[in-house]
Amino acid sequence: MHIERASDDVYVFTSERYAQVTATLIVSGTVGVMIDTLPYPSETAQIARLAQKVAPDGVRYLVYTQHQADHVYGAIYFPRAEIIAHTLCRQYLIERGYKALEAARKQSDEFEFTRIKLPTTTFDSGTFSLRLPNKTLDMISTPGHTDDSISLLLQEEKILFAGDTVMALPTIADGDVQQLRSSLQMIGEMPLDSIVQGHGEIILKGEIKEYLRRSINYLDQLEARVHAAIEANVTRDEARQQITIESCGMGRVLLNGQVAPLHTANLGALYDRLAPAKLNKPSVKLLPVVKPVEYAAVQITAPRIKARATKIVSRTAAKPKPTRTRKVAVAEKTVGHAARKSAKSTTKPKAAGVVKVPRKKKK
């Protein structure tokens, strides 16, 4: 596992075992916030040991950027953490996560003690903010790779933790090409200093616009070529052979050469979605290879929209019964004495899309 510091309080961990997938630890005072985990227990256990040293009061929150195994399997190493995710993430973990873990256990004994931990707080629209001492994390929906994908903006340092919305090769096998294109365009308009992507190295400020332009161009080229292949009655297997990753403007060396199967999966999924609609779609010409373009500097402040958030009462790791799942409005949270005092009150707090953690007084 490779460890890199994106800033003084931000640690980025990159797996050396699976597709350079990343996880992040943000330290605020004496508490930590994890963004995703790594899939293999041995690597996430190393993260947990480091977190104990740099965040003495432990990891208070764990955020899933989406539901897939390489982002959630290490949650058992942070037993006290409240888990935050998109509403669909929780749904997909219930529908698919348990079966996927059973399959993983059959392939490797390493996952014998791995457990699925469901999100305890979810949101499905707007911006959901987590306020920590001297730090604010804004969570926004960025669908495309999957429809439950989210990204997190660390406001004070202008770092975006983009999950798999941004990675060396855009992937849509389980997502939607138009949604991903729109999410990448939105990210391109943000005033960012760096992006921590779901797989691969940190993208620095001077690289962001070209990196996103290349990703969008790949999606455009792929979609256009698949359209053209379908119009020419090219079969799915023939299209997979003819439409190479290089013809779509990308190279095979990305992610240590692991992008080729990702490209093949993209192509097959897009062909399957577009082929049934052939008679209703006009012919599409191949797009020329796009030269780098200069984007005008745009400063955008994301609107603060009250998120429609829910908190899941059940915290058990076992597969829950849907009829026993109860949702209550997420309210502004406090820690310590204030939290215990509010728990005794009979007055219900108003819902808000903000979670606050009070500043801990220095001794």
Residue 292 resides in a domain = no
The pLDDT of 257-280, averaged and rounded, is: 86
Lowest mean pLDDT among 22-36, 54-68, 139-153, 280-294: 280-294
- Residues 46-55 have pLDDT tens digits of 999 999 999 9
Sequence length of the chain is: 363
Asked if residue 257 and residue 151 are part of one domain, the reply reads no
Whether 145 and 267 share a structural domain = no
What ranges make up the beta strands (E) of the chain? 2-7, 10-14, 22-28, 31-35, 59-63, 82-86, 121-123, 127-132, 135-141, 150-154, 159-163, 194-197, 203-204, 309-312, 327-329, 354-356
pLDDT at 32 over 70: yes
- Does residue 130 fall inside a structural domain? yes
Q: Domains in the chain: how many in total? A: 2
Own/partner long-range contacts of 261-264 (Cβ < 8 Å, ≥24 apart):
262/169, 262/171, 262/173, 263/169, 264/240
pLDDT(1) > 80: yes
* Average pLDDT, rounded, for the chain: 83
Say how far residue 73 (Cα) sits from the centre of its chain: 14
State what percent of residues in the chain have pLDDT above 70: 76
Task: For the beta carbon of residue 262, count every other beta carbon within 10 angstroms.
Answer: 22
pTM over 0.85: no
Q: Which residues pair with 13 in a beta bridge?
A: 3, 23
Question: Contact, 283 vs 228, CB < 8 A?
Answer: yes
Do 124 and 230 belong to one domain?
Answer: no
Q: Is residue 363 part of a domain?
A: no
Is residue 89 within 8 A of residue 67, CB to CB? The reply is yes
Amino acid 117 reads K
| Structure confidence by residue, pLDDT tens digits, 166-180 | 999 999 999 999 999
**pLDDT 10s digits, 76-106:** 999 999 999 999 999 999 999 999 999 999 9
Residues 146 and 133 in one domain: yes
Tokens, residue 79: 């037993």
- Asked if residue 285 is part of any domain, the answer here is no
How confident is the model at residue 308, as a pLDDT?
A: 44
DSSP 3-state assignment of 219?
Answer: helix
42 has a pLDDT exceeding 60:
yes
- Residue 349 is assigned to a structural domain of this protein: yes
**Residue 60 and residue 170 in one domain:** yes
**Are 179 and 315 within one domain?**
yes
Domain limits for position 174: 2-212+300-356
Closest CA to 361 of 341, 338, 345: 338
Whether 76 and 106 map to the same domain: the answer is yes
Average pLDDT estimate for 302-331: 43
User: Based on the domain organization, do 115 and 257 belong to the same domain?
Assistant: no
CB-facing half-sphere around the CA of 169: CA atoms within 13 A: 29
Last residue of a domain, one of 236, 251, 280: 280
The torsion region of residue 208 among left (phi > 0), alpha (psi -120 to 50) and beta comes to alpha
